[in-house]
Structures are given as structure tokens and as C-alpha cells.
Homo-oligomer: A and B are copies of this chain.
Amino acid sequence: MARDRRSGGRRGKSDRTGGSIDQLPWQQVHNTYPPYQLLNPDQLDQLHATSMRILSEAGIRVMGDNVLDIFERAGAIVDRDTKTIRIDESLVTEALKMVPAEFTLTARNPAKRITLGGTHMNFGLVAGPPNVHDRINGRRPGNYTDYCNFIKLAHHFNAVNLIGNQVMAPIEMPANNRHLDTYLANLAYSDLSFHCTAIGRGRALDGINMMAITRGQKPEEMRDDPGVITIISVNSPRLFDDAMGDGLIAMAEYGQPVTVTPFTLMGAMTPVTLPAALAQQNAEALFGVVLTQLVQPGTPVMYGSFTSNVDMRSGAPAFGTPENAKANIVGGQLARRYGIPYRTSNANASNAVDLQAAYETMMATWGAVLGGANIVYHAAGWLEGGLTASYEKFIMDVEIIQNMIEFLKPMKFDEDELGFDAINSVPTGGHFFGSDHTMARYETAFYRPMLSDWQNYENWEAAGAKDALERATEIWQQALRDYEEPVMDPAIREELDAYVAKRKEEIGAVEP
């Protein structure tokens, strides 16, 4: 057996970045095991029926007149006084016929095009926290330097397939134009697709335009090959605000995909019971899905699930709970029922990168795997209920994603793999270390971890007795040293810079 092969080797990234961290290659992951059936078909029917009652009897309140107009034209019952829209099942059924079962996202590197739908599974970078944390510098407000570092890490580690909506808020920058700087960092420091901020039409269009520039296209040329995506969060219970609605409409007009994710924390924004929370999530998600199809039939759209619970003693959100894992799974059962690509999340509520962060993350991630998620949002770096993006958490999460990728690789079955001859050739009580069957396969037989340390205790102690948290610090530091910026045509970079400058001037002191 070879020893000390940690650097480089088959899984190294030397082919791309000359990096020294052992990791899995870029790949499109497929989850081909039969989906876990936590609910039976009758129970799914009951959830569906309750959702339809929510949509047709209780209704959804929408703050934007443009959305009220769209639904009115489609035959929905629109109460202008209360801004409430009630739709019946036929409108949902018609919309679902037009939803693509899968779609792709392509940034500037077509080799890293990802597919959302079917058996495809993708993992997204943490998005949205106001704070950032690492073990050396502690917890601090988000800022642009750390923002760029996270984009570099997302580019460096193949486990991350997609950038979310602002890995953290660079709060030293003006709130009305910082989206331009974060889009620029996404496009310059990585070749991944990303989520536009869809608070209002302007931010969504900026994302579409800047991705188009980077791809050397006009925005309308991205219609058949989308480049960016966004998330529309529902203000649960049953409320769509106008900025989100505008963002959704802008994306749909340009054929760019939208994820509709109700913000359904049980006990706060939904009833405390899982069936009620899931029925409400389902109603709210389907309402957004219908809207996308009314704006532009065939718009790619994802079914988003973010159902977890709150701590009923304090009202604090909880994630990675047993209830959250169940919701992640059932969300997938519902999305598949409707033929909509499925988004869920990896979240946890720990205040530190500690045991709790690890086991809550695993609860959520297994829920996502068993739920057949097409994208696991916040898959790498989320901490503290989403209030902090953490460097060490990012590294642990990459290791966890890689574990899942290996878990999802189906076993090969043939005579050689079944290995009767190999078994028969080793004497009883002997060992297989040097057998031909082993020697032919040992380099690629097992997953080789990035963060886990399998040395025996004595060697581990002699090497400094570093626990996984300390090792995670070393890995992200090394990754930033190894990081190589993907080459961009200087003309495109100039055009991007010019776009940002022009838009900052246009926006001035108002909303974009």
C-alpha cells in the first residue's frame, strides 16, 4: 500500500488550480436510489387537498398590483380591498403542465453547467448572513474581503456547484448598490452560476445583465440557456410582498429560473403540526409556481422547502431538527408529485462550529438526500441559524457533501466486484492487503477524506493532536493560498466594470 499520498494524486485539483488539498473532482451528482417514502400516497393526497383549500378558501395576500392584475386576467378571484387572491385547483393544474421537469444553469464555463431536476443533486454556498466567522479572527460583521474569500473557496472546492444570494452582506457598502459588487465578485472570482437578489426588479435585472456580459451575450440570448437563478421567499403565512413579486416577474420575463420558498417555521409562521406546516408550504410554493407560469409559460421554477420549527420556549428558530429532516423529505415527495425541481436546505442553529453544528447539519443534509433535493441551498458554510457564514463550517460542510457524493455512487455489480475468486484466493484468517484484486483497485476503492484524520491516536498526538476544527482552519487557509482566479477576457472584465460604474451612477441614493 502506498502511504503519504495525501498531496495531489487522483483526486487533486492539480489539473485545474495546482492545489494541494485532496478533493473530489467536479462532477454532476446523481441521486439514483429509490426516493424515501416517509408519507404514503394517501397522506400526500391529504396534504395536496388541504393546500388546495388554502389557495381557494383562505387565499394569498399579494402587495403588488401587477401580480393582482396577472391573476385577475387568469380568472382568479381577486379581492382588491384585502389584496387577496383565491385560485382553484384547475389554475394550478394548468400551470404545472407548463413547468419544465428540469433545467440547466450555465455561467461562463460550460463545463460546469449544472442541471436542476430529475436525479441531479447540487450543493449551494451559504447565502444571506449578516456576519462572518473564523477560528482565528472570531465573529464580525460581513464585509467585502470575506465575501470575496468565500467566492474563492466556492470556486476552489468542487463540492460547491452554485453560489447563493450573497454569501454574506458586505455591510460596509451601500445597501442599494452592493449587489453590483457581490455579482462582480461572483463572476470574477468563480466560474459558477449564482442567485440574483430579487428584491425588486432592478437587482434581478442587474444579475441577468452581468451574467450575460460575462457570457458574451445579450440578456435575451440567455432565455434558452439560463445563467442565473433567484429565490422568492414567501412572507409566510400567505403573504407575497411587492419587491419579491417584481423580482420574480423580471426573472420570468427573461426566462431565468426562480425558486419559490415559503418561510415556514412551525409554531411561528405555520401551525406547530407538520402536516399543517407542509400543507401551508405547499400552497404558498404552488402559488408562486402558478405566478411564474402566468408571467411566462415554461419559466423554469423550483419548489422550495424551508420548513423547520422554532424553540417553543424562546421563539428562536431551530434547524437540523428531526422535524426539519422530515420536512426536507416530504418536500421532495411533494415536488416530485408535481414534477417540479426541488430545493431544500442544510441549516443548523448552533452558535459555534461544534458538535451541535455537525449533527444538526447531518440531520438536515440526510433529509435533503432522502428527499431527493436537486439543490441543497446553504450546503456549505451556514452557522447560527443563518446569521453567520463560517470558514471552518464551510470546510466541514465540503467534507460532508463529499461523503454524500460517495454515498450516492451506486455500487458496481459484476463478477469481479463480487470477488469470489479474490475471496477464495486468500487463506482463512489471512488478509487482502496484497492480493491482486486489492492492488488493482486500492487507490480508488474508498473515499479519501479531506478533513477526517484516520491516523492512530499515537501518530495523531505526535502530529499535534489537532482536532477537526483546527484542521479545518488549516484547510481553508491552504485553499486560499492555492486558489487561482479563473482567467477572464480583459474586454469582458472592462465591460463588467463599466456596467457596475454606470449602474451605481444611475441608482444614486435610491433603490435600484
B residues within 8 A CB of A435? 271
CB of A445 within 8 A of CB of B266, answer yes
Please, which residues of chain B bring their CB within 8 A of the CB of A427? 237
Complex-state Cα separation, A171 to B451, whole angstroms: 33
Question: Of B309, B353, B420, which is within 8 A of A54 by CB?
Answer: B420
Which residues does chain B contribute within 8 Å of A271, judged by CB atoms?
Answer: 419, 422-423, 432, 435, 437-438
B279 touches A452 (CB 8 A): no
Check if A54 sits within 8 Å of B423, measured CB to CB: yes
> Which of B323, B355, B396, B446 meets A266, CB within 8 Å?
B446
The interface stretch among A294-302, A410-418, A489-497 is A410-418
Is B468 in contact with A352, judged by CB distance below 8 angstroms? yes
* A74 on interface, CB distance cutoff 8 Å: no
Q: Are A407 and B447 in contact (CB under 8 A)?
A: no
Q: Are A2 and B359 in contact (CB under 8 A)?
A: no
Contact for A447 among B322, B416, B430, CB less than 8 A: B322
Residue interface mask A22-52, B partner, CB < 8 A = 1: 0000000000011011110001001100100
- Taken together as a complex, chains A and B put the C-alpha atoms of A468 and B461 apart, in Å, by 23
Of the listed stretches A56-64, A111-119, A174-182, A209-217, name the one at the interface; the rest are far from the partner chain: A56-64
Give Cα A423 to B47, complex, Å.
13
Interchain CB contact under 8 A, B313 and A272:
no
Contact A468 B350, CB 8 Å, known A323-B446, A399-B359, A411-B326: yes
CB neighbors of B among A67-93 (8 A): 84
CB pair B269–A350 under 8 Å, yes or no, is: no
* Nearest CB in chain B: distance from A281 CB, A: 11
Interface pick from A101-109, A184-192, A360-368 = A360-368
Mask of A1-25 contacts with B, CB within 8 angstroms, 1/0:
1111110000000000000000000
Distance A84 CA – B280 CA, assembled complex (angstroms): 64
Cβ-defined contact, B419 with A279, below 8 A? yes
Contact of A272 among B39, B61, B442 (CB under 8 A): B442
What residues of B have a CB within 8 angstroms of the CB of A388 in the complex?
457
Q: How far is the CA of A420 from the CA of B432 in the complex (A)?
A: 61
| Per-residue contact bits, chain A 265-278, to B (CB 8 Å; 1 contact, 0 not) | 01111111111100
Q: Which of A316, A409, A435, A452 has the largest count of B CB atoms less than 10 A from its CB? A: A452
Interface residues of A in 243-291 (CB under 8 A from B): 266-276, 279-280
A61, closest chain B residue (CB): B428
Q: How far is the CB of A192 from chain B (nearest CB, A)?
A: 24
24 contacts between A and B (CB under 8 A): A1-B313, A2-B312, A43-B411, A46-B418, A237-B430, A266-B446, A268-B432, A271-B422, A272-B437, A273-B416, A280-B419, A311-B446, A315-B433, A316-B454, A322-B409, A326-B407, A352-B468, A354-B467, A355-B357, A355-B451, A358-B358, A358-B362, A359-B362, A359-B399
The 8 closest A-B pairs by CB, nearest first: A276-B419, A358-B358, A362-B362, A322-B406, A272-B445, A61-B428, A355-B468, A354-B467
